[in-house]
């Protein structure tokens, strides 16, 4: 299958290699960033363009792996009207394609991607949605070739998945940032927290998140909690965050007991 990748960022990079590994032909990379486009195209040994009016019109499927804000203007372009057009966003409705493309869908890999961090695409759950049977069949074929698990999910389901993913990944990573800053005030580096982080993440392979929960909030250890709050006296934002998370953990524990 001939594929054009629109975008050259983190997701576009991993998607391109997964498609190539599945035996499909990447015929072109488009990105408005020449550096990103040339970098990805060079790795794949395919041509690239930075002018949207020069997008290859002969591909079978077009993947729009770009930011949510960039999608509307790109979907308005007159590109291969009989081909399949697919975006990869978790939070954008498939309805965005209506009156713009004839055959369209969504191919959403639920994972965090960084260009230079290897990831096993086979292990990523993929959520698909199609405007018609042609698209659904094509996306089922692709997802089956590229990933071990794929699911049909409509736009409403996918949005909820995306919210859950933000909590599970983006927010957690920001908490790592906070932890890194705090541990440095004690004179240590973030390295000392890594075994704790790895063990905490590994627990979900054996326990539910509720069963894996530990700490002073679950125990309602008021003395420890107050000592921690005293350490955060110079940051009202961190104090508020600590208090909010503590309350949520304790309330969930009470509700479940």
DSSP letters of 117-181?
S---GGGS-EEEEESSHHHHHHHHHHHHHH-S-EEE--HHHHHHHHHHHIIIIIIHHHHHHHHHH
Q: Which residues contact 7 (CB under 8 A, 6 or more apart)?
A: 30, 31, 63, 64, 65, 66
Nearest CA among 15, 52, 14, 9 for reference residue 139: 15
pTM attached to this predicted model: 0.93
Whether the CB-CB separation of 64 and 8 falls below 8 Å is answered with no
Nearest CA among 183, 180, 249 for reference residue 214: 249
Query: Which tens digit of pLDDT belongs to each residue from 185-221?
Result: 999 999 999 999 999 999 999 999 999 999 999 999 9
pLDDT band (50, 70, 90) for residue 139: very high
Q: Which phi and psi angles does 70 have, rounded to 5°?
A: -80, -15
Q: Is the pLDDT of residue 253 over 90?
A: no
Portions of the chain given CATH number 3.40.50.720 = 2-153
Query: Which tens digit of pLDDT belongs to each residue from 2-20?
Result: 999 999 999 999 999 999 9
Percentage above 70 pLDDT, the chain: 100
Q: Quick one: 2-153 is in which CATH superfamily?
A: NAD(P)-binding Rossmann-like Domain (3.40.50.720)
The whole-chain average pLDDT of the chain stands at 96
Which CATH code is given to the segment(s) 159-256?
1.10.1040.20
Q: Is the pLDDT of residue 257 over 80?
A: no
Portions of the chain given CATH number 1.10.1040.20 = 159-256
pLDDT band (50, 70, 90) for residue 137: very high
Nearest CA among 166, 168, 139, 165 for reference residue 152: 139
Six token digits for residue 227: 């000592």
Torsion of CA 131, 135, 139, 142, to 10 degrees: -160
């Amino acid at each position: 299958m001939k594929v054009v990748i629109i975008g050259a960022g983190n997701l576009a990079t991993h998607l391109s290699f997964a498609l190539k590994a599945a035996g499909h032909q990447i015929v072109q990379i488009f990105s408005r960033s020449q550096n990103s486009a040339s970098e990805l195209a060079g790795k794949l040994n395919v041509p690239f363009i930075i002018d949207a009016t020069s997008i290859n019109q002969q591909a079978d499927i077009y993947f729009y792996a770009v930011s949510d804000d960039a999608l509307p203007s790109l979907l308005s372009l007159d590109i291969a009207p009989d081909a399949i057009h697919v975006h990869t966003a978790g939070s954008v409705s498939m309805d965005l394609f209506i009156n713009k493309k004839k055959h369209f869908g969504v191919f959403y890999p639920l994972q965090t991607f960084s260009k230079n961090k290897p990831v096993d695409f086979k292990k990523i759950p993929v959520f698909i949605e199609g405007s018609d049977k042609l698209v659904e069949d094509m996306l089922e074929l692709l997802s089956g070739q590229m990933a071990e698990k794929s699911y049909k999910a409509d736009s409403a389901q996918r949005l909820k998945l995306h919210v859950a993913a933000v909590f599970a990944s983006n927010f957690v990573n920001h908490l790592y940032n906070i932890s890194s800053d705090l541990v440095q005030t004690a004179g240590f580096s973030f390295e000392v927290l890594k075994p704790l982080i790895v063990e905490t993440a590994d627990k979900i392979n054996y326990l539910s998140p509720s069963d894996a929960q530990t700490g002073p909030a679950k125990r309602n250890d008021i003395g420890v909690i107050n000592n921690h709050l005293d350490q955060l006296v110079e940051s009202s934002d961190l104090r508020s965050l600590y208090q909010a998370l503590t309350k949520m953990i304790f309330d969930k524990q009470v509700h479940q007991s």
